[in-house]
Amino acid sequence: MKSPLRPGGPLARTIHFRVYLLMALGVAFSIFAMALAGWLKVRSLDDRLMDGRLQAAQAVADHLDEQLRLDLELLQHVSTHRGFDLEDRSMVAERDAMHEEYLHFRFPGMFLVDAKGAVVLEEPARSGAAPATPDSLTWEYRALSASGRPQVSNLLPAGDGRRIYEMVPVRNWQGRVVGAVGGRMDGAMARVLPVLNHLVPPGDGHADVVDGNGVVIASTQPSRVRMASECQPHLTELVEKKRAEVARCGSCHRARLFGAEQVRAFAPLAEASWGVVVWQPRDTVVASGAEMPATFFGVGLVVAAFSALFAWGAARSVTEPLYVLTGEAERIATGDLDEPIPDLGTDEVGRLAAALDRMRRSLSGLIREVGEANAVLEQRVEERTAELGRLNAQLREREAARRELLRKLISAQENERKRIARELHDDTTQSLAVLVMGLEAAASAVRSGAGTPRFDEVKALAVRTLDEVHRIIRDLRPSVLDDLGLYSAVRWYAESTLGPRGVAVRCEISAPRRRLPPEVETALFRVCQEALNNVARHAQAEKVLVQIEQQGEILRIDIEDDGRGFEPAPPAASDERPHFGLMGIRERVEILGGRLQVDSAPGQGTRLSIEVPLPTEGEA
pLDDT at residue 560, rounded to an integer: 93
pLDDT at residue 608, rounded to an integer: 92
Rounded distance between C-alpha atoms, residue 496 and residue 493, angstroms: 5
Question: Is pLDDT of 256 > 70?
Answer: no
Rounded distance between C-alpha atoms, residue 218 and residue 60, angstroms: 12
* Same domain membership, residue 273 and residue 162: yes
User: Highest mean pLDDT range out of 2-16, 179-193, 226-240, 403-417?
Assistant: 226-240
pLDDT at residue 180, rounded to an integer: 86
Amino acid (1-letter code) at residue 193: L
pLDDT, tens digit, 9 for 90 and up, residues 169-214: 888 888 888 888 888 876 556 667 777 887 887 777 888 888 888 8
Specify the number of domains making up the chain. Answer: 3
pLDDT at residue 296, rounded to an integer: 64
> 605 versus 333: which is more confidently predicted?
605
Of 455, 476, 497, the position where a domain reaches its end is: 476
* Same domain membership, residue 394 and residue 502: no
* Same domain membership, residue 486 and residue 471: no
- Grade residue 422 by pLDDT with cuts at 50, 70 and 90: low
Pair 453, 492: CB distance under 8 Å: no
Dihedral sign from CA coordinates of 413, 418, 424, 426: negative
Summary mean pLDDT of the chain: 78
90 part of a folded domain:
yes
Phi, psi of 551 (to 5 degrees): -120, 95
348 part of a folded domain:
no
Rounded distance between C-alpha atoms, residue 480 and residue 494, angstroms: 13
* Same domain membership, residue 505 and residue 458: no
pLDDT at residue 619, rounded to an integer: 52
* Same domain membership, residue 472 and residue 486: no
Region class of 306: left (phi > 0), else alpha (psi between -120 and 50), else beta: alpha
pLDDT at residue 610, rounded to an integer: 93
Q: What is the CATH number of the domain that holds 545?
A: 3.30.565.10
- Grade residue 292 by pLDDT with cuts at 50, 70 and 90: low
pLDDT at residue 598, rounded to an integer: 92
Percent of the chain with pLDDT over 90: 5
* Same domain membership, residue 573 and residue 502: yes
Q: What is the CA radius of gyration of the chain?
A: 73
Amino acid (1-letter code) at residue 511: A
* Same domain membership, residue 377 and residue 305: no
343 part of a folded domain:
no
150 part of a folded domain:
yes
CA angle 575, 578, 584 (to 5 degrees): 175
* Same domain membership, residue 495 and residue 457: no
Q: For residues 469-489, give the mean pLDDT.
A: 73
pLDDT at residue 188, rounded to an integer: 53
Pair 579, 491: CB distance under 8 Å: no
Q: Which of 502, 488, 437 is nearest to 465 (CA)?
A: 437
Of 476, 503, 531, the position where a domain reaches its end is: 476
Name the β-bridge partners of 209: 218, 276
* Same domain membership, residue 287 and residue 411: no
Q: Which CA distances in Å does 584 have to 393, 476, 522, 605? A: 20, 17, 14, 20
Sheet with 606-613, strands from edge to edge, namely 504-509, 543-551, 554-561, 606-613, 595-600
Question: Is pLDDT of 380 > 50?
Answer: yes
Question: Is pLDDT of 436 > 80?
Answer: no
Of 308, 336, 364, the position where a domain reaches its end is: 336
* Same domain membership, residue 225 and residue 91: yes
Rounded distance between C-alpha atoms, residue 610 and residue 131, angstroms: 167
CA angle 131, 134, 137 (to 5 degrees): 105
259 part of a folded domain:
yes
| pTM of this structure | 0.47
> 285 versus 375: which is more confidently predicted?
375
Phi, psi of 417 (to 5 degrees): -65, -40
State the DSSP code for 426. Answer: I
pLDDT at residue 13, rounded to an integer: 57
Other beta carbons less than 10 A from residue 609's beta carbon = 15
Q: For residues 108-119, give the mean pLDDT.
A: 82
Please give the residue range of the domain that contains residue 380. 373-476
* Same domain membership, residue 587 and residue 505: yes
> 532 versus 438: which is more confidently predicted?
532
362 part of a folded domain:
no
Q: Are strands 119-123 and 156-158 parallel, antiparallel or unpaired?
A: unpaired
Q: What is the CATH number of the domain that holds 327?
A: 3.30.450.20
Q: For residues 329-337, give the mean pLDDT.
A: 77
121 part of a folded domain:
yes
* Same domain membership, residue 266 and residue 253: yes
Question: Is pLDDT of 3 > 50?
Answer: no
pLDDT, tens digit, 9 for 90 and up, residues 525-577: 888 988 888 888 888 889 999 999 988 888 899 999 998 888 876 544 444 55
